[in-house]
Amino acid sequence: MNNWIPKNKTVKFVQAFALFVVALYFVGLFFVLSEAKKVESFYGDSKSETFKEERLLAIKVLAEANKEPIQALRDFFIQKGDEVKFIESIENVARNAGVKFAITSIDIDTSGADSFKEDVKVKMEIESTWKNTVYFLDRLKKMPFGVLIKNVSLDTSSSGGWSGFVEFVIFREK
């Protein structure tokens, strides 16, 4: 009857073999999980690169489709260095309207919260007839540049004309 009881060496060998198999299982599991993470990482990176390429292509297509509105928006802002040309165009509008004018101040406000534009505040003293003054203000408002008329103060003068000042803001790219 003692034949079915394993010998002490056999039990120890089986226990050692079982421990070896369990250790081998966990080492194999560790390698499989690390390889799976590498595959997931490569897949995520390739998916991310593909997404970036598709997004860039979509932006290019949108930019091409909206070329004219984008150019109109760019033209709305005065470019750095074009301030003199802009002031000359305002002076031409005033001359064409028959308005006597003098630019009394130009102030650049960089304290705005916008990171892409600066406000250039201009104050002009003007003198003319009511019709010419209104025509000048209308032409000033309709310029292709971004012009915001902030303040207009006019009084009648002794000669029957109107005189005063106009303050307006133009927008310039930073």
pLDDT at 4: 63
pLDDT at 141: 86
Q: Which of 167, 169, 174 is nearest to 119 (CA)?
A: 169
Of 5 and 46, more confident: 46
CB count in 10 Å sphere of residue 91: 14
- Total-model pTM: 0.57
Confidence of residue 113 (pLDDT cuts 50, 70, 90): low
Which class for 109: exposed (0-12), middle (13-18), buried (19 or more C-beta within 10 A)? exposed
Residue-wise pLDDT tens digits, 37-94? 888 887 777 777 778 888 888 888 888 888 888 777 777 777 777 777 888 888 898 9
Residue-wise pLDDT tens digits, 145-158? 778 889 999 888 76
